[in-house]
Structure 1
Amino acid sequence: MRTVRKATLAALALLLAGAAVPAQAGPVHPAAAAAGPALTVDTSIGRHAIDPNIYGINFADEDLAADLRLPVRRWGGNATTRYNFTLDAYNAGHDWYFENLYYRNGTADLPAGSEADKFVEQNRRTGTETLLTVPMIGWTTAERNDACGFSIAKYGPQQGSDAQWRPDCGNGTASDGTEISGNDPTDTSVRIGPEFSGAWVRHLRETFGAADDGGVRFYNLDNEPDLWHATHRDVHPEGATYEEIRDATYATGAALKDADPGARTLGPAGWGLNSMIYSGLDQQVCSREGGSCWSDPPERAAHDGLQFAPWYLREMRAYEERTGRRVLDYFDEHIYPQQQGVALADAGDAATQELRLRSTRQLWDPSYVDESWINQPVQFIPRMRDLIDEHYPGTKVAITEYNWGALNHINGALAQADVLGIFGREGVDLATLWSPPGAGDPGAHAFRMFLNYDGKGGRFGETGVHAAGADQEKLSVYAAERGSDGALTVMVVNKTTQDLTAPVTLKDRGRARTAEVHRYSRADLTAITREADQAISRRGTFTATFPAYSITEFVVPAAGEGSLTARPPTAPPATAGAGPIPPAVGREPGGHVVR
């Protein structure tokens, strides 16, 4: 992730153009709730494992990680591309005037005691898995000094500089608006190869144990390499090619596995949808040339006409077939919704809030045309799975950066809860939010609804089951069984500004007659509240009112005294509820095929 991104497309500049945040209380609720869409949960179909690692966060602080029982925490972003573990120093790249920066942890015992070591130590204290980013760019920070990539004294006047702290450090853009070229990369950095990353992993293994014995398990193979020509252009001015990323993955992946055979690798960690379609070089060239270049980029033609991601996965499969060794475990891509005012932004006006909640459909829905420059269905997660199935079966799916914005607002909390539900339903294997919400922010409560809804470790289940709603634009529903006690957990997100009363049917014959109800809503933005228990009929039905802009979790215990009959009935039960319930025909809403 970046604080400043060189625009691959002009539309990317709109990401941070958020409007003022409206009052979170919103409009007064109507006197009576409106009729909501029917919801159905069926535990007999759509059963699949939900990996707890989908609930990860980049750089979460210790109190939040402990409270959430955070499963995985990532050390990532542009600054990690040139992190030097032996110096505890890094280069900020385009994010901050291409400056060398360093952590003030002392140097006597380095690499012991580095910021990276402290990151791992925190994770061990909170029982959290570590995901570290290792460099593949071929350069790392040379010294713990104040050097920068585009010294004004050396390369001339520039349009911007770090006037407050290091006035000599420019932004790399000359006064006439052209980018400075021909600078010396050794002003800040030194060349490295895959052995550098291997040495880091050996240090981590010696310090914290092997990956399979409580040590560092996950490693990102650098960060957004298809944007190196922008984010780290002082050392990598040319866009990364197909072969460069392939060969670096081969070599770095092998070095990591040599150092710790249990390590799991994630790549290529591209910045978004374009990362699956284009190489870094094609993005660079087509950003400059525009027009038909985007439909016929120069590098693709030289690679069997394949877009980058299928070619990359095909080459990873070929490596394993040739060597008997897998060097890529997770196919990892980032996603930031490109709709104006959504990602990394405040809540915005009412129209933007509606857009934010609609835009989560780009993760799965074939009928949703992305409301941005993309202007076509994205189906981000099914797209990733289809690429894996065709080109490298057995690879897992990761999304190590995403952000739907407004984490300080109930609107962002709803979007975040919806995204987490989608990740579980669609079979993502690992995901980490960029960047962490504050512990008291609504976005943190969205995570708590899945990880610690009652403050006592109550969690959403880990075996997903079929859950469908007649209108997911109003009520999104997700369901899973919990292995520890057999409870069924059902999450319902009311995305509307109106209270909705809806019929719910649980097609499960081994459940208690009452459910716990836990809710996060505008009524109290500081806490998840325990509501009155929900009664359930013998037929497994009930009707509930879902407050406007709320997240509700039902926890239905397994069979016990006063439960629904645990024995299968001799005839199909009648369907109860105030309205039609869509038939369960092996598909989730919007055409998702149940796995």
Structure 2
Amino acid sequence: MAVLAVSTVVTVAPADAATAAPGPDLAVDVLADRQPISEDIYGMNFASEELAAELRLPVQRWGGNSTTRYNFRFDNTNRASDWYFENIDEATPDPAALPDGSVTDLTHERNVRTGSKSLFTVPLIGWVPKARGKACGFSVAKYGPQQSTDSWAPDCGNGVRPDGTNVTGNDPHDTSVEAGAQYVEDWIHHLTGKYGTAAGGGVRYYDLDNEPDLWQHTHRDVHPQGAGAVELRDRTYDIGAAVKAADPSAKTMGPVGWGYMSLLHSGLGDADRPNHGGVDFGEWYLAQMRAYEQQHGVRILDYYDNHIYPQQSGVSSSDAGDAGTQALRLRSTRQLWDPTYVDESWINDKIRFIPRMKDMVARNYPGTKTAITEYSWGAFDSVNGALAQADVLGIFGREGLDLATLWTAPSAGQPVADAFRMYRDYDGRGGRFGDTRIRATSTDQDKVSIYGAERATDGATTLMVVNKTGGDLTSPVAMSGRGAGTAQVYRYSGADPTGIVHEADQAVSATGFTATLPAGSITLYVIPKDDTPTLPAPGAPTASDLTATGVTLSWPAVTGAADYTVERDGSPAGRTATTTLAVTGLKPDTAYTFTVRANNAAGTSSPPSPALTVRTKPDQSGTGCTAAVTVTGKWPGQFQLDLTVRNRGTTSGTGWTASLGLAGGMSVAQTWNGVTTTTGTTATVRNASWNGALAPGAFATAGMILNGDPAGWTPTPTCSLT
């Protein structure tokens, strides 16, 4: 499929607005919900150098099942269950020069040429190939006849006997040799010795293995049992620490689970739940990583990383499928974010994958970023697949995901590549979607989704609109926070699936425009920075009446201003016709940054004022400390409770104790991040060894599993500090 070059961009008439059906209402507020969009969400696995260079691909991942067992010294991998558990040599240019010139060396050198950050996989499994040359995990000569063998290497079987049972008791040393932290350090020292550290242009990211909760299937020749929570924690401690010892500037990602169930379970499933506190595995895992940093002073996990493949029938297939499958593919992107969407597969649950991961991080290891290093909505060869991919990329940016890499990369001529071009190279000259999210909403995202961003390089407003229906639609787009302009329009659709088309310009007023969207289309509106003379930025605001929960801001008047918008940390905090605004609802002992914009009568806003950062006062409403509990999960016979203890005083504490009364029939089954004793109907929780010190305003959290039912229970916990 041809790639549309700049020299061949043409202008064509848009869909006929007179015959288009009414579409959902769309709204954009340039000043609201402003947050950075991470460039790293536009990554891929194994993209060609041609496509990576064209898209200026930000991240290239070298991952997958085969990379779990890779030996950089011999430049070979074990292909695991993907191909008869065989050791297979890479096409090394000069084997005598190894480890120089390995596939990972060449991959990083190619990524340097395309400006892509390298993401490599390091082994946690404890095994790598033992030597260069072919070896089989399940030799027919050694282990007997098997259901299937490699037609090119007939002694290599699939590890399944003719009667359908798995071969067991095989020797892992048939293919592999033990490899732990020292192996990882040696490999990274090789990489940093040639290419520098991550901070100096070397390999930026390391995945801590690949889908370890499936090792008992994919790598059962060396790891026949599922990996439990404690094993995964301990291996992560060992290998994560090795990565940081070899290159402290590198970033790590884990546990790199296979899908939604990886957030809930280890490789041992429900049977392992008592070993991870009775809570979802992701909650426990993140808390364990936080505990390591607090105990050792080193963060060994930078990104909470899990894969996701839609489980709905046919959605992730390479084929587009019938009309029902195509509609399901477009609908199923809601599992990434929508709290009301019940996954239409065997999962049958409200997944809300990205917010769920971010919530887990916020509760258990704040500051950890989120990543999805494998995903695919399939149908790379179809416009339907391109629509889904464009929707997914928009969701990644809106929901604040930090990194994502598509499995695997499309070819340069496939429609899914054009979905990426709409964000990374819509005009053939490197034109990109914006890098600061702005509010953009649709009243029916199943029909039309819209994503908005502002571009830092030129201040342009960029709007990506996806019509997922089979008919032309006309939707009103209400705009606020900017003035009138003329938008350039770029579109990819089934009307011309050979490439992106530069459509006729779209007039945009200060209040918006009407968008006519062809059936099954991706449309990008690029609205240049408003060059209409604007009001000058207000002078720097000042603060008064500062309390624990509020502050009053004042600023100099701007001639011609109809009113002013106060922004808090980049988002609107209030609007007033005066030059003073009382901002309330703030958190105690928290830093906030405020700016002010002047608005004229047409609704055009000025540049922001100089920023003012203030810190609210500590909450003195109580003395010593306060404690609060929240029920965060419930299942038959048990429920999960989060306990938060906060220092409300003005001096630091070295330890804390909290007590809460239990209702009849309740008892404590499990506690983490604290130690519990029970006397009668009172449970007393004391800090763990690492979370007792609380500065003024600081807090600590502990989790508990209680036997019983919380219905009708209204606990009033108390606490004290030492």
TM-score above 0.5, yes or no:
yes
Q: What is the Cα deviation at residue 440 of structure 1?
A: 1.0
- Equivalents in 1 of 2:561, 2:488: separation in Å? 24
Give the structure with the larger strand fraction.
Answer: 2
Match of 1:264 in 2: 251
Which aligned pairs between 1:98-177 and structure 2 lie closer than 5 A?
A: 98-105=85-92, 106-162=94-150, 164-177=151-164
Q: What is the Cα deviation at residue 303 of structure 1?
A: 2.9
Q: How far does the alpha carbon of each residue in 1:100-155 deviate from its partner, in whole angstroms, 9 at most, with x for none?
A: 10112121111110011010011000001000001110000011222110011110
- Equivalents in 2 of 1:61, 1:208: separation in Å? 21
What letter is aligned with 1:544? Answer: A
What letter is aligned with 1:228? Answer: W
The one of 519, 526, 551 equivalent to 2:522 is 551
Q: How far does the alpha carbon of each residue in 1:508-556 deviate from its partner, in whole angstroms, 9 at most, with x for none?
A: 23x452111111111211111111110012x331112000000000011
- Equivalents in 2 of 1:462, 1:201: separation in Å? 32
The alpha-carbon distance between structure 1 residues 68 and 115, as it changes in their structure 2 partners (threshold 3 A), is same
- Equivalents in 2 of 1:344, 1:70: separation in Å? 24
* 5+ long unaligned stretches in structure 1: 1-27, 283-296, 576-595
SS of the counterpart of 1:504?
Answer: strand
- Equivalents in 2 of 1:30, 1:278: separation in Å? 51
Q: What is the Cα deviation at residue 574 of structure 1?
A: 9.5
- Equivalents in 2 of 1:357, 1:281: separation in Å? 33
Q: What is the Cα deviation at residue 225 of structure 1?
A: 0.4
The alpha-carbon distance between structure 1 residues 574 and 358, as it changes in their structure 2 partners (threshold 3 A), is farther
Q: Which has the higher contact order (CA 8 A, sep 6+)?
A: 1
Which aligned pairs between 1:115-264 and structure 2 lie closer than 5 A?
A: 115-162=103-150, 164-264=151-251
What letter is aligned with 1:110? Answer: L
Q: What is the Cα deviation at residue 302 of structure 1?
A: 3.2
- Does 2:528 match 1:560? no
- Equivalents in 2 of 1:507, 1:90: separation in Å? 55
- Does 2:437 match 1:464? yes
Match of 1:34 in 2: 21
Maintained 8 Å contact 1:513/1:564 = no
Q: How far does the alpha carbon of each residue in 1:440-489 deviate from its partner, in whole angstroms, 9 at most, with x for none?
A: 11100000010111111110011001000111111100000000100000
TM-score of the aligned structures, taking structure 1 as reference length: 0.87
Residue identity over aligned pairs, in percent, reads: 59
SS of the counterpart of 1:122?
Answer: helix
Q: What is the Cα deviation at residue 344 of structure 1?
A: 3.3
Q: What is the Cα deviation at residue 563 of structure 1?
A: 9.0
Q: Which structure is larger by alpha-carbon Rg, 1 or 2?
A: 2
What letter is aligned with 1:548? Answer: A
Q: What is the Cα deviation at residue 565 of structure 1?
A: 12
Match of 2:41 in 1: 54
Match of 2:410 in 1: 437
What letter is aligned with 1:553? Answer: L
- Equivalents in 1 of 2:170, 2:214: separation in Å? 19
Q: How far does the alpha carbon of each residue in 1:215-240 deviate from its partner, in whole angstroms, 9 at most, with x for none?
A: 11100000000001100000000110
How many residues align? The count is 531
- Equivalents in 2 of 1:376, 1:252: separation in Å? 34
SS of the counterpart of 1:527?
Answer: coil
Misfit runs of 4+, over 4 Å: 28-31, 561-575
Match of 1:516 in 2: 488
Deviates more, 1:333-342 or 1:523-532: 523-532
The one of 498, 513, 522 equivalent to 1:542 is 513
What letter is aligned with 1:160? Answer: S
Q: What is the Cα deviation at residue 342 of structure 1?
A: 0.5
Which aligned pairs between 1:283-322 and structure 2 lie closer than 5 A?
A: 297-322=270-295
What letter is aligned with 2:48? Answer: D
SS of the counterpart of 1:237?
Answer: coil
SS of the counterpart of 2:411?
Answer: coil
- Equivalents in 2 of 1:407, 1:29: separation in Å? 29
Q: What is the Cα deviation at residue 29 of structure 1?
A: 9.7
- Does 2:409 match 1:414? no
- Equivalents in 2 of 1:441, 1:29: separation in Å? 28
The one of 345, 351, 356 equivalent to 2:318 is 345
- Does 2:505 match 1:533? yes
SS of the counterpart of 1:336?
Answer: coil
Maintained 8 Å contact 1:513/1:562 = no
Give the structure with the larger helix fraction.
Answer: 1
Deviates more, 1:206-215 or 1:565-574: 565-574
Q: What is the Cα deviation at residue 43 of structure 1?
A: 1.4
Maintained 8 Å contact 1:408/1:441 = yes
What letter is aligned with 1:276? Answer: L
Q: How far does the alpha carbon of each residue in 1:263-299 deviate from its partner, in whole angstroms, 9 at most, with x for none?
A: 00000000001111111122xxxxxxxxxxxxxx221
SS of the counterpart of 1:90?
Answer: strand
Tell me the C-alpha RMSD between the 2 structures.
Answer: 1.8
- Equivalents in 2 of 1:499, 1:568: separation in Å? 41
What letter is aligned with 1:519? Answer: R
SS of the counterpart of 1:554?
Answer: strand
The one of 342, 351, 357 equivalent to 2:330 is 357
- Equivalents in 1 of 2:60, 2:83: separation in Å? 24
The alpha-carbon distance between structure 1 residues 337 and 563, as it changes in their structure 2 partners (threshold 3 A), is farther
Maintained 8 Å contact 1:345/1:406 = yes
- Equivalents in 2 of 1:376, 1:197: separation in Å? 38
Q: What is the Cα deviation at residue 176 of structure 1?
A: 0.9
What letter is aligned with 1:387? Answer: M
Maintained 8 Å contact 2:216/2:225 = yes
Match of 1:386 in 2: 359
Match of 2:471 in 1: 498
Deviates more, 1:299-308 or 1:213-222: 299-308
Maintained 8 Å contact 2:71/2:129 = yes
Maintained 8 Å contact 1:462/1:482 = yes
SS of the counterpart of 1:219?
Answer: strand
Match of 2:541 in 1: none
What letter is aligned with 1:135? Answer: P
Deviates more, 1:273-282 or 1:94-103: 273-282
* 5+ long unaligned stretches in structure 2: 1-14, 538-559, 564-576, 578-599, 604-722
- Equivalents in 2 of 1:195, 1:342: separation in Å? 42
Maintained 8 Å contact 1:218/1:265 = yes
Q: What is the Cα deviation at residue 562 of structure 1?
A: 8.4
The one of 247, 251, 266 equivalent to 1:279 is 266
- Equivalents in 1 of 2:240, 2:132: separation in Å? 28
What letter is aligned with 1:533? Answer: D
The alpha-carbon distance between structure 1 residues 302 and 258, as it changes in their structure 2 partners (threshold 3 A), is closer
What letter is aligned with 2:518? Answer: P
Q: How far does the alpha carbon of each residue in 1:41-80 deviate from its partner, in whole angstroms, 9 at most, with x for none?
A: 1011111110000000000000000011100000000000
Q: What is the Cα deviation at residue 438 of structure 1?
A: 1.0
Maintained 8 Å contact 1:136/1:252 = yes
Maintained 8 Å contact 1:513/1:535 = yes
Maintained 8 Å contact 1:473/1:495 = yes
The alpha-carbon distance between structure 1 residues 41 and 158, as it changes in their structure 2 partners (threshold 3 A), is same
SS of the counterpart of 2:227?
Answer: coil
The alpha-carbon distance between structure 1 residues 476 and 564, as it changes in their structure 2 partners (threshold 3 A), is farther
